Amino acid sequence: KKKLILDVDTGIDDAIGIILAVKSRQFDILAITTVNGNVSLDTATLNTCKILDMLGEQDISVIKGANAPLIRPSFFEHKIHGEDGIGGALANVPVTKQPDEGFAADFIINSILNFPEEVTLIMTGPLTNLALAVKKCPQITQLVKEVIFMGGVVQGVGNVTPTSEYNTFVDPEAAKIVLHAGFRSITQVGLDVTRKVLLSEEHIQAIQNQELADYISESTSDYRKRYFERNGVWACAMHDPLAVGIALQKDLVTTKEYYVDIETKSEICDGQMVCDFQDRLMKPANAHVCLDVDAEAFFDLFIRTIHS
Ligand code: BDR
Ligand code: CA
């Protein structure tokens, strides 16, 4: 089994990513680490614990990380993810799972040092925890197996500002540090592909595990409504679950290596990911950029995996 650390800011789609990772049984999940993002660190942690309770997986460690971006103020997304961060689902369920001791960045460092070239990191929130880990222990970049992160957009428009995707917008300094740290393998999973992976009512109905189908239906209900208002289709993008899906099945996406960077000093473009498609800067590639996705194959995998 692949050793995995999943780093999340548990909002609606992070939660579904956790479900996919756990249910796949393909990972040895060393811990789920949490970060400030869609919601506060404490709410992201609570939501993560709620999901693990629902899955009956109280033994998976949850470790808290950064409670703010590196240098910027928090930027929550309650309008999208709901007051509680998971669309009001599981609101009245008592929570028994508690977070474990420790700090995410240290846990990431120690895990990578303990299991050289074995640990996969899937990051589905702002990259604050990984940036802190790299700053403290730069050699992890050569010892981690791979990093898969959901963030950025290279060809389309942003989802927070005209140019920027949420995770890179919230902590652009962290994203910049991670991209330039010299990791052996970074896969960037951006809106270019995640926007094509749209969860519909039919997908939810195909999920045979009724408890999970009900949870996903309820937690994504307002999320899908908002997408309908903007795009005329009842659906929502599976941003974070796609990052998990790629760790399970690489050929879900078509990637190409490019040099990418993040804008941090602009009045209107902060958080923008810039991809040097034409090698204008003549710098070595630092990311496998996802250019296309087989959405149907993703949903096959997703529905098959969370059946049981
Ligand atoms: C990303 O931002 C968050 O709102 C989602 O959880 C996802 O990680 C999409 O831009
Ligand atoms: Ca997220």
36 is written with which tokens? Answer: 């400030």
d(CA 129, CA 36): 9
Catalytic residue chosen out of the listed positions 78, 81, 180, 239: 239
Residues with CB under 5 A from ligand 2 (ion): 9, 14, 124-125, 240
pLDDT in tens, the chain (308 residues): 999 999 999 999 999 999 999 999 999 999 999 999 999 999 999 999 999 999 999 999 999 999 999 999 999 998 888 889 999 999 999 999 999 999 999 999 999 999 999 999 999 999 999 999 999 999 999 999 999 999 999 999 999 999 999 999 999 999 999 999 999 999 999 999 999 999 999 999 999 999 999 999 999 999 999 999 988 999 999 999 999 999 999 999 999 999 999 999 999 999 999 999 999 999 999 999 999 999 999 999 999 999 87
The pick from 167, 170, 227 for probing ligand 1's pocket by mutation, whose C-beta has the most ligand atoms within 8 angstroms, reads 167
Catalytic-residue membership of 78: no
Strand-by-strand arrangement of the 2-8 sheet: 62-64, 27-34, 2-8, 119-123, 146-150, 186-189, 287-293, 253-258
Helices 172-179, 128-136: axis angle to 10 degrees equals 50
**Which atom of ligand 1 is found nearest the CA of 160?**
10
- Which ipTM score applies to this complex? 0.99
